[in-house]
Amino acid sequence: MNASTRFLTATLGALLGLALSAPASAERIKDLASVQGLQSNALIGYGLVVGLDGTGDQTTQAPFTTQSLRSMLNQLGVVVPTNVNPQLKNVAAVAISAELPPFSKPGQTIDITVSSIGNAGSLRGGALLMTPLKGADGQVYAIAQGNVVVGGLGVSGKDGSRISINVPSSGRIPNGATVERDVPNNFVGKPELTLNLHTPDFTTAARVAEAVNAALGGDFARALDPVSVSVLAPTDANRRVAFMAELERIELTPGEAAARVVINSRTGTVVIGSHVRVMPAAVAHGSLAVTISEKPKVSQPAPFSDGATVVVPESSIQVTQEGAGRMFVFDAGVSLDDLVRAVNQVGAAPGDLVAILEALREAGALRAELTVI
């Protein structure tokens, strides 16, 4: 048994022992990080969906559909006279997109998404013709073809009325593309592997390096920054795969997330982290109700004044303040539970809660990062 084999055997044994003895509350490296350079690759293509039930592109408004159909027929040996402009309603021009996973091999299949780029009403019942899918480098990595599965529904009437459920102009083809080319990767060859954390954090990066070094019994891992951790690994492909299989099983307790309040401005959703604290502050919450009513009034002219009877508008505006006297005081170091309880007591809606949090931040009383998405 040579030195490299002994090193690998000892390493795998130590990694397995650490994985089995780790606390149940810890998380695996497999769930916290990914190997640098092994990301998926985006593919895109342009093609035609045929066999639609009259819901295809209107060729007068989408001339590229007719051009594509004419070009395809020419390649198949069918010559369409130049003075003939096919008016088809069962063909739609579509864009095809897909994600090519790392280590994909020729012959494997991947799912694809088909989306109309013309004015097709629905892709239901259509079939995608053979279409090459290209990567960012312009090379063809997969060939797509198959029947489109549409989850939406669209129905229209002759008077122009229409009912649409979900998006019928887009669909999926499970296993609709066949991989034709390998994707280059740098998994084997370099003496080091770089683990990239899904969530940047200095504490987590340091703990990952410490956990790996404890498993290997030496200085084999080092944290490069809050995202990346470099790990020495065997250069042989078989040994590196076995090494990574055990390395992913190492468990550790990641660092706690920073205090953060996330607000979705579109839906009014507010998410408050557990470490959010509020400094001493007094908050008053109220709302104004403005009522404007229009009451038409008839204006009658005086006798013998040669005037005309007219209708003049009369506006009435009332402003009332509801919830007067709603004020609560935050003491130093108020926790998340106290903050939510106080806001609920005054009956604040999500929009009001956003205003309160923003006001607390402007006053310097909110000890958290406020993120609006």
Whether residues 73 and 163 fall in one domain: yes
What pLDDT shows up at residue 140? 93
Check pLDDT > 50 for residue 15. Answer: no
Does residue 118 form part of some domain?
Answer: yes
What pLDDT shows up at residue 108? 92
What pLDDT shows up at residue 94? 92
Does residue 185 form part of some domain?
Answer: no
Nearest partner of 148 among 132, 121, 118, 168, judged by Cα: 168
The pLDDT of 322-335, averaged and rounded, is: 55
Whether residues 232 and 353 fall in one domain: no
Phi, psi of 152 (to 5 degrees): -90, 175
pTM above 0.75, yes or no: no
At 117-170, the pLDDT tens digits run 888 888 888 999 999 999 988 899 999 999 999 876 555 555 455 565 667 888
Does residue 186 form part of some domain?
Answer: no
Per-residue confidence band for 17, with pLDDT thresholds at 50, 70 and 90: very low
Check pLDDT > 50 for residue 11. Answer: no
What pLDDT shows up at residue 312? 65
Does residue 154 form part of some domain?
Answer: yes
The pLDDT of 197-203, averaged and rounded, is: 88
Whether residues 47 and 171 fall in one domain: yes
Does residue 121 form part of some domain?
Answer: yes
Looking at 234, 252, 270, the residue that finishes a domain is 252
Whether residues 287 and 210 fall in one domain: no
Whether residues 148 and 265 fall in one domain: no
Amino acid at 354: V
Check pLDDT > 90 for residue 324. Answer: no
DSSP, res 259: P
Whether residues 10 and 49 fall in one domain: no
Over pLDDT 70: what percentage of the chain? 67
For 178, the enclosing helix (H) or strand (E) is strand 170-179
At 224-247, the pLDDT tens digits run 999 899 988 888 888 888 888 888
Q: Match 């342009």 to its residue by tokens.
A: 46
Nearest partner of 268 among 343, 351, 340, 344, judged by Cα: 351
At 44-76, the pLDDT tens digits run 999 999 988 888 888 777 788 888 888 888 888
Q: What is the 3-state secondary structure (H, E, C) of 93-130?
A: EEEEEEEECCCCCCCCEEEEEEEECCCCCCCCCCEEEE
The pLDDT of 24-40, averaged and rounded, is: 81
Whether residues 93 and 12 fall in one domain: no
Does residue 156 form part of some domain?
Answer: yes
The pLDDT of 100-108, averaged and rounded, is: 90
Nearest partner of 299 among 284, 320, 314, 280, judged by Cα: 314
Q: In a 10 Å sphere around its CB, with 0-12 CB exposed, 13-18 middle and 19+ buried, how is residue 329 labelled?
A: exposed
Looking at 153, 179, 205, the residue that finishes a domain is 179
Does residue 184 form part of some domain?
Answer: no
Whether residues 175 and 48 fall in one domain: yes
Nearest partner of 171 among 289, 321, 55, judged by Cα: 55
What pLDDT shows up at residue 81? 76
**Least trusted range by pLDDT, from 12-16, 21-25, 36-40, 86-90:** 12-16
Over pLDDT 90: what percentage of the chain? 14
At 282-310, the pLDDT tens digits run 666 555 444 445 566 666 676 666 667 76
Does residue 270 form part of some domain?
Answer: yes
Enclosing domain of residue 86: 41-179
Rounded Cα–Cα distance for residues 347 and 341 (Å): 10
**Least trusted range by pLDDT, from 6-15, 82-91, 134-143, 192-201:** 6-15
Number of domain units in the chain: 3
Whether residues 246 and 264 fall in one domain: no
Check pLDDT > 50 for residue 77. Answer: yes
Check pLDDT > 80 for residue 191. Answer: yes
Q: Which residues contact 248 (CB under 8 A, 6 or more apart)?
A: 28, 29, 30
Check pLDDT > 70 for residue 276. Answer: yes
Whether residues 246 and 281 fall in one domain: no
Per-residue confidence band for 334, with pLDDT thresholds at 50, 70 and 90: low
* More confident position, 136 or 19: 136
The pLDDT of 350-359, averaged and rounded, is: 70
What pLDDT shows up at residue 21? 43
* Bridge partner list, 372: 263
Report in angstroms the alpha-carbon separations of 77 from 69, 71, 72, 73, 172.
Answer: 12, 10, 9, 6, 30
